[in-house]
Amino acid sequence: MKKNVPQPNSVPERGKADPASRFNPDTRVSGFTRSEDTDRAALSRQSEQQPASAPQTKSAHNKGKLAGAGPARKTTGADSYYVSFEEDSSPDRSRATDALKVATRKKPGKYRWVKRILIGVAALLLVLVTGVVILWNWLLSGAQTSLTISPDQSNQTLPQSTTIAAAVSGSASDTLAETAASTPTPTPDPDVAIIENAQYDKKITNILIIGTDSRDGESLTYALSDTMILLTIDQTEQQIKLTSFQRDMMVYMEGESEPQKLNEANFKGPEYLLQTINQNFDLDIEDYIMVNMIDAEKIVDALGGIDVDIPDDQDVLDYLNRLITEQNAIYEGWGEDRSGWVDSIEEGGYQHLNGRQAIAYARMRELDSDYQRMARQREVLYKVYQKARSEDALTLLKTVKTGFSIIRTNMSKTELTQMIFALLPTLNSDIQTLQIPLFGYYWADTDNSWNIHANFNALIPKLYQFIYDQLPSTFVPVSLLPYTPLQVTDQEYIPEGVKDGSSTIANTGQDGWTTDGVPVTVTPDMGLEPDETGTMGLNTFATETGDAQ
C-alpha cells in the first residue's frame, strides 16, 4: 500500500536518502519534496482527498522496487511537499528477510570449530618439527663434520719401510722404481666412463668407512688405516653392501716414486686415501667417515654389548686377552688402580661381549690372516647393526649420539642426515659383502714383508658389478705391480720361477705393466662368480672365497 507521509522537520539534503530508509531493505525512496509548517489537520485533509490505491501485488513490487520511475512527484496542495515511500508488507517476505539476516550473522561462526582445529594441528606440527630439529642437532653436536685436509699434512713423506722395493731383489728394484715413476695417473675418459656411468650416482651412495689404529686422538686423521670398508647404500634395491679393502695391497700413489701399502695412504689424510682407492679401482668415492677402532667400543657399550662365538682355542684366547689388556692400558693406564679394566675371556663358545672385548676380537690378525680379520670386522659390524634393529628408541638415540661423537667426516650435517634417511628402508634386509682382492686374483710376496700384488684390472669389473648391480661397458685400466698374476690362479704366494723368469704362468714380470689409458671393453665373463660374494643374515655369516693363510 502506498502512503503519503509528511517529511519530518529534519530533512536530508537534496540528493541524499533518508537515513531511516537504510534500516529497512524493503523500503526505497521514490521521491521527495519539502513541506514547511505542516500539521496534523493538513495531513488529514490531504488523506481524505487521496483516492484509495489498488492493492499492489507482490510481483509488481518485487523486492521493494520503486513505485514509479522518473523525477519526484509533487502532491496537490499549496506549500505541501511529501516524501513518497512504498513498502512490501508481505509476511512471507518479512520472515525470509529475517532468516537471511540471521543466517548472515551466523555464517562466520559456522566453521569456527574447523578453524580452531586447523590452528591447533598446525601448532602441534610446528612443535613436533621444532622438537625433531632440536633433537637431531643435539645428536649431531659431537660429530666432527665437513673436515678438510691441511696442506702441511698432505705434503708429508710416507714411510719407506714397507715399499715394494724391499720385497724384490737385485736389479728389479731399480727397474721397478723407474716403472713406478713413469706410471701416469689413470684418468677416466669423461666421454666414456663418467657419462655412461652417470646413472649410478642417482640411487647409489658410496661412503668409505676408515678405521684407524691410533693410540692418541691427535694422530687419528693421519694414521694407518687398518680398516677400509666401502659402505654402499642402494636405495633402489633397498640393500646395504660392504666391500672390504685389504690393507696390505701394494698400490701406486700420486706423488710417490714407489708403490706403498694401501693403508699407508692415510698418513697424508683421508682425502689422499680416497684419491688412491679411486685411482686404482676406477671409482669416484667422495665421502668418508673415520673412527678410531679403539673408540668404536663405545658404540658397542651403548647398545649393551653383542653376542659372538669365540673359538674354543687356547692360542686364540691368549691372543684375544693380550689385545684386551693392551686396550685396558690405553684407556685406564698401568697404575695400581685397575678397577676400570675389562675382564679377560676365560673360555671359548657363544658368549656376550662388551665393547672392549668385541673390538679386541675384531682386531685379531696374527693367528690367521688379515682376510680373517676383515671377516671378523664385518661380523662385529653386522652384530652391532643387528642389535640396533631390536633396541628401543631411547637406546637407539643414545647409540646414535655416541656414534656421532667419535666420528670425523668430510660430510656435512645435512649429508649425514640424508644418509640416515637413506639407510632406514634397508634395515630389514641382509647385508651383501665382498672383499678385495678376491682369491685367485693376487699373489702374496713374503720375502721381506707381507705385500699383496693384486690384478686390479681383473677386479674392477667385479667391483662395479657388486656395487651397481651391472657391469660397466668400459673402464680405464690401471698400472699393475711387478709379479702380478694376469690369469686366475689357485696359488696364494708368488710361485717359484716367477721372479727368475722361468715360470710360464702369465704375470707382469719384474717391470710390471703400465697403463696406456685406453679404455677396455668389458665382457660378461669378467663379472662376478656366485661364490665370490657373501651374505650376512640374521643367523648366518658367509665367508668369501679366499680366507687365506
- The least confident of 31-40, 259-268, 324-333 is 31-40
Give residue 317's pLDDT. Answer: 93
User: What DSSP line would sit under 157-201, residue for residue?
Assistant: PPP-TT-GGGTS-TTHHHHHHHHHHTPPPP---IIIIIHHTTTHH
Helix (H, G, I), strand (E, B) or coil at 79: coil
Pairing verdict, β 204-212 and 287-292: parallel
CB atoms within 10 A of CB 53: 10
Give residue 51's pLDDT. Answer: 52
What average pLDDT does range 384-409 have in this prediction? 87
Query: Measured between alpha carbons, how far is 459 from 466 in angstroms, rounded to an integer?
Result: 11
Q: To the nearest whole number, what is the mean pLDDT of the chain? A: 75
Domain count, the chain: 1
Tens-digit pLDDT profile for residues 45-73: 555 555 544 444 444 444 444 444 444 44
Pick the closest to residue 212 from 416, 400, 363 (CA basis): 363
Place of cell 526505497: 28
Q: Judge whether 87 lies within some domain.
A: yes
pLDDT band at residue 133 under the 50/70/90 scheme? confident
Pick the closest to residue 344 from 382, 294, 375, 310 (CA basis): 310
User: Are 47 and 38 within 8 A, CB to CB?
Assistant: no
Give residue 353's pLDDT. Answer: 95
Q: Judge whether 59 lies within some domain.
A: yes
Give residue 22's domain range.
Answer: 2-93
Angle at 21 between CA 20 and CA 26, to 5 degrees: 140
Angle at 104 between CA 99 and CA 106, to 5 degrees: 95
Q: Is a pLDDT exceeding 60 seen at residue 135?
A: yes
What average pLDDT does range 341-350 have in this prediction? 92
Q: Is a pLDDT exceeding 80 seen at residue 219?
A: no
Give residue 374's pLDDT. Answer: 86
Q: Which residues contact 446 (CB under 8 A, 6 or more apart)?
A: 493
User: Are 86 and 63 within 8 A, CB to CB?
Assistant: no
pTM for the complete prediction? 0.67
Pairing verdict, β 239-245 and 204-212: unpaired
Q: Judge whether 326 lies within some domain.
A: no
Q: Which of 27-36, 126-135, 220-229, 338-347 has the highest mean pLDDT?
A: 338-347
Query: Measured between alpha carbons, how far is 506 from 491 in angstroms, rounded to an integer?
Result: 13
Q: Judge whether 69 lies within some domain.
A: yes
Q: Judge whether 483 lies within some domain.
A: no
CB atoms within 10 A of CB 217: 12
Give residue 60's pLDDT. Answer: 42
User: Are 308 and 350 within 8 A, CB to CB?
Assistant: yes
Q: Judge whether 385 lies within some domain.
A: no
Scanning 182-285, the segments in alpha helix (DSSP H) are 195-196, 200-203, 270-281
Q: Judge whether 372 lies within some domain.
A: no
pLDDT band at residue 481 under the 50/70/90 scheme? very high
Q: Judge whether 61 lies within some domain.
A: yes
